[in-house]
Amino acid sequence: MSKRDILLEIGTEEMPARFVAQAIAQLQEKLEKWLQTERISYDGIHSYETPRRLAIHLTGVSERQADRNEEAKGPARKIAQDEAGSWTKAALGFARSNGVEPDALYFKELNGVEYVYAHKSEQGKATSDILPAMRDVITSMTFPKNMRWGAHELRFVRPIRWLVALFGAELINFEIEGVKTGRQSRGHRFLGDTVTIDTPADYVQLLQDQYVLVNPQERERRILDQIKQLEQEHGWVIPIDRDLLDEVVHLIEYPTVLFGSFEQDFLQIPREVLVTSMREHQRYFPVESPNGDLLAHFVTVRNGDSRSLANVAKGNEKVLRARLADARFFYEEDQKLAIDDCLKKLETIVFHEELGTIGDKVRRIKRNAAAISSAVQAATSVEESVVERIAAIAKFDLVTNMVNEFPELQGLMGADYAAKAGEQPAVAAAIREHYLPRFAGDALPASAEAAVVSIADKLDTIVGCFAIGIIPTGSQDPYGLRRLAAGIVSILVARGWTLSLTSLFELALAAYQEQGVSKREAAEVVQDLHEFFTLRLKNLLQEEQVRYDVIDAVLATDIAVIPDVLARAKALMDVLRSEDFKPTVEQFNRVNNLAQKAGSDRIDPALFTEAVETGLYQAYLAATDKVKQAKEAGDWTAVLAAQSELQEPIKAFFDNTMVMVDDEQVRNNRLGLLAALSKLIYQFADFSKLVFS
């Protein structure tokens, strides 16, 4: 069977750069699913995108649909036929829905029941007759923000201006909001011209001839090659921000890299301000010296060729000069502000309409941070006066001009302004660090004091949201609560702080209750928070390459102390490397299974009638002491070792004793012993969840 290629190009007005990659991925996915549904096979698929077009090139597309031969299962015989053996309405409806005559129905047995079946056979249609329905694939697309244009009803990312749809050399005819498919595509808005495409295979080269590189990987390669050339020519280092590079790639159709300069005086502004101003306002890359110092140059990418680059550079320099002048003005004006005056202004900034102002949040952070610093004193030397000052002023820069202009500089500007205002270096640094970690793999707060305030701040936001019913679901997490929870987990693990999650939740919740804020029962909020943090712990353990069954085992028990959860998982992973542990787990599970029948864990040694009972009881007491000492030392490997010593006494007990005897007192006493053992064992993990091959 002969094959042809398909080209589909949707030409639009300029799309936002952040939408382009998602849009082409969606188009490809929808088109592939549609072709599968229509039983149209193809050899390969290639996607292309620029700010003005989304294009799909399918190779080796079959000329016809595949024939359909399948068997459809209907109702059971007792429903399909009446007592006289005639077809019922159910059977007739089944035949009609499958396009067969009732006489063609037949019965087959499945799991001891006879069902009516129909054989459906359909010859494939010509692909060219089906392809105009691709229109529905396009119109079904959705975007983060849609728009309508003119009097049209279709909502799309941007107005559609042209459509190219070819099946080999044949035009695929359809129309969307007055735009008919054709062979003509459009080149670069200023450098190119309209181009006629005869066959799909010509597409990429024809557009390149009109100054459009439709392959984003090619645009990225050219940008990076030209940046590397600049580095070699000038001895520069041009750091590449991945997000910025992706944005630039999807802002242009034909990249040419150029550089410009600005006055040395601007380098007196903090580096973060300069880099952020260049990146956010102008989409420029900064330039560094080989030793990492910021230089008074920038690199940008032009959507066009290399003609008149000097004039383009001058224009960019003029625009950037104005931006940097604004930044310098904001920076100088901010330094005239007193920290205390900024703190007063926080009372007028709403944190959340139901949770109060930023001023309210600061008071809660101070309260929680003081309690946390006291709780970790035994493990870490924390200067409580430093914690108090950090918590009090950590948010003051939110009212500054610079943070108002660049919200992502919160903390960075606070640290700079606080240092210039004479705050202790530890306090100033912590204003920046208390926002850490901002994402997975980010740095953690360097000082214990900053870590305390970071936990208090993140905890306040999470608990406050849960208290008023804002709980992340699915992909919806508008306040970034998962990220904040992961940050708390990372800090607690790194610091080894054995703070109880339950105590932390209750601490933060009490601060809201004192403020009169909470729409839900405290116990319900704490339960939801435990479930929420359990998922964060599961992610952490997966990142640590812990086995899935070990994760299930340790998370089925108490997870309140996060470093202990990780330590238990690692200890269990170590012992599971040996098959010798399997008999121990079997004995633990026997104990746990029978312990479910116990009414209590009370034990009366006077009711023991067998030596193995006394032996197991003595082993239990010894293990209890060892477990207690090991837990106090934070040695969970020793805890597991102490529990494992119970294997032989447990085995001897079961081999020589009947638990469920007729004597109620003896039976309950033995069940109580097993319940006590189960309680001791369950401190470590639910061993029944472990899987042995």
Return left, alpha or beta for 474; rule: phi > 0 is left, psi -120 to 50 is alpha, else beta. Answer: left
Q: Same domain for 58 and 75?
A: no
Q: Tell me, yes or no, whether 551 lies in a domain.
A: no
Report how far apart, in Å, the C-alpha atoms of 159 and of each of 42, 152, 184, 185, 530 are: 30, 10, 17, 15, 47
Domain boundary among 334, 361, 377: 334
Q: Same domain for 463 and 499?
A: yes
Neighbours of 480 (CB within 10 A): 16
Name the domain count of the chain.
5
Q: Same domain for 348 and 423?
A: yes
Domain boundary among 157, 175, 209: 209
Sheet of 255-261: strand order equals 255-261, 294-303, 285-288
Q: Same domain for 299 and 391?
A: no
E strand intervals along 131-284: 160-167, 170-171, 175-176, 179-182, 184-186, 194-196, 255-261
SS3 (DSSP) at 223: helix
Q: Tell me, yes or no, whether 684 lies in a domain.
A: yes
The CA R_g of the chain, rounded to the nearest whole Å, is: 35
pLDDT at 1: 58
Structure tokens of 423?
A: 């705050």
Pairing relation of β-strands 179-182 and 285-288?
unpaired
* C-beta of residue 438 within 8 angstroms of C-beta of residue 411: no
AA letter at 516: G
Q: Same domain for 481 and 534?
A: yes
Domain boundary among 157, 189, 209: 209
DSSP per position, 601-638: ----GGG--SHHHHHHHHHHHHHHHHHHHHHHTT-HHH
User: Could you list the residue range(s) of the whole structural domain that residue 285 is in?
Assistant: 216-334
Q: Tell me, yes or no, whether 106 lies in a domain.
A: yes
SS3 (DSSP) at 169: coil
3-state secondary structure 235-277: CCECCCCHHHHHHHHCCCCCEEEEEEECCHHHHHCCHHHHHHH
Q: Tell me, yes or no, whether 566 lies in a domain.
A: no
Q: Same domain for 672 and 650?
A: yes
AA letter at 506: E
Neighbours of 241 (CB within 10 A): 13
- Rounded Cα distance between 6 and 17, Å, is 26
Neighbours of 12 (CB within 10 A): 18
Where do we find the tokens 């330094």?
335
- Rounded Cα distance between 605 and 607, Å, is 5
* C-beta of residue 406 within 8 angstroms of C-beta of residue 276: yes
Pairing relation of β-strands 3-12 and 356-357?
unpaired
Report how far apart, in Å, the C-alpha atoms of 111 and of each of 50, 107, 115 are: 56, 13, 10
Give the DSSP H or E segment for 95. helix 89-97
Q: Note the residue count of the chain.
A: 693
- Rounded Cα distance between 244 and 298, Å, is 14
Q: Same domain for 357 and 397?
A: yes
Q: Same domain for 323 and 346?
A: no
Q: Classify residue 312 by burial, with Cβ atoms within 10 Å: 0-12, 13-18, 19+.
A: middle
Structure tokens of 57?
A: 């090139």
Q: Tell me, yes or no, whether 103 lies in a domain.
A: yes
Q: Same domain for 353 and 424?
A: yes
Q: What CATH number is given to the structural domain containing 576?
A: 1.10.730.10
pLDDT at 68: 81
Where do we find the tokens 């703070």?
499
Q: Tell me, yes or no, whether 578 lies in a domain.
A: yes
Q: Tell me, yes or no, whether 554 lies in a domain.
A: no
Q: Same domain for 168 and 231?
A: no
SS3 (DSSP) at 335: coil
Neighbours of 444 (CB within 10 A): 16
- Rounded Cα distance between 106 and 108, Å, is 7
438-444: which pairs have CB atoms within 8 A and are 24 or more residues apart?
A: 438/483, 438/487, 439/483, 440/483, 440/486, 444/490, 444/491, 444/494
pLDDT at 345: 97
Q: What is the mean pLDDT of each run of 10 residues along the chain (693 residues)?
A: 92 96 97 95 97 98 89 90 90 88 88 88 89 97 93 95 97 96 97 96 97 98 98 97 96 98 95 93 95 96 95 96 94 95 96 95 97 88 94 97 94 96 96 95 95 98 95 87 96 94 95 86 94 94 94 94 94 88 93 90 91 94 95 92 94 92 91 94 93 83
Q: Tell me, yes or no, whether 348 lies in a domain.
A: yes
Pairing relation of β-strands 160-167 and 179-182?
parallel
Q: Same domain for 165 and 27?
A: yes
CA 118 to chain centroid, in Å, comes to: 46
pLDDT at 281: 87
- Rounded Cα distance between 77 and 236, Å, is 81
DSSP per position, 479-539: T-HHHHHHHHHHHHHHHT---BHHHHHHHHHHHHHHHT--SS-HHHHHHHHHHHHHHHHHH
Q: Same domain for 374 and 487?
A: yes
Q: What CATH number is given to the structural domain containing 502?
A: 1.10.3210
Give the DSSP H or E segment for 430. helix 425-433
The whole-model pTM stands at 0.81
